[in-house]
Amino acid sequence: MFKGRHFDRSVILLCVRWYLAYGLSLRDLEEMMAERGISVDHSTVHRWVTHFSPQLLERFNRRKRAVTRKWHVDETYVKARGRWTYLYRAIDSVGDTVEFWFSEHRDLPAAKQFFRKALTRHGRPDRVVIDGSQTNREAIVSCDTTNRLQDRSRRKLKTISIRKSPYLNNRIEQDHRRIKRRVRLMLGFKSIIAANIILSGIELVHMMRKRQARFAFDPNPSLAEQFDMLAA
């Protein structure tokens, strides 16, 4: 994962972790590394974040524990390249992150892509709570129907129950706040690709804080320890 890198693994992981987890700019990290006698350009830190975030997320997902069968689904706004884009998100009944999906559009195809990804990775929920969005409802019904038709287990699968309730969906609205708090300090993303990658890294840190991964030798590792174990 770090083969051929000029900088030590610990320096790279520190910069990636600090940038994704805390309200620090790339130039803040450049200055902080300089105070430690390490000369690293802010653009290099950005390259580390965009290069290693997807790899760390992939390794995390291999360790991610199963989610419950009741999901709360919603989308939130993120500014990228000077315009509003959308982050579809789902959490389960205990607050664990189920799945997320970044899209330039808020429409039926984007919602379907999100639900297909969630169903493929986590299986079928018993119930999905939404805030009243007709688009999300149509996406769930469509993906549910397709999923049941493609099922080869010969079991009679129940239709996914959909409940519209803005009040019950306050749970995911609260969960958005941690993501939005970090994104707000970045003052928007300059490209769609960078937005997609960095948001996945921020979601990764959010899941780490919820202790959603299984680690055999330490049931309650710190954020830094989780990064080290994933990079090992």
For residue range 68-105, list pLDDT tens digits in order.
999 999 999 999 988 999 999 999 999 999 999 999 99
CATH number for the domain whose boundaries are 70-186: 3.30.420.10
Single-letter code of the amino acid located at 95: G
For residues 171-175, give the mean pLDDT: 93
The rounded percent of the chain whose pLDDT value lies above 90 is 80
User: Binning pLDDT at 50, 70 and 90, where does residue 4 land?
Assistant: low
Domains of the chain, residue spans: 9-63+214-231, 70-186
Report pLDDT digits (tens) over 9-41.
899 999 999 999 999 999 999 999 999 999 999
User: pTM above 0.85?
Assistant: yes
Asked if 85 and 77 count as a contact pair (C-beta separation under 8 A), the reply is: yes
Is residue 228 predicted with pLDDT exceeding 80?
yes
User: Binning pLDDT at 50, 70 and 90, where does residue 5 land?
Assistant: confident
Q: How far is CA 225 from the centre of its chain?
A: 19
- Alpha-carbon distance 202 to 180, whole Å? 10
The rounded percent of the chain whose pLDDT value lies above 70 is 98
β-strands 127-130, 70-80 pairing: parallel
Predicted pLDDT of residue 71: 97
Q: Which residues contact 12 (CB under 8 A, 6 or more apart)?
A: 2, 5, 48, 52
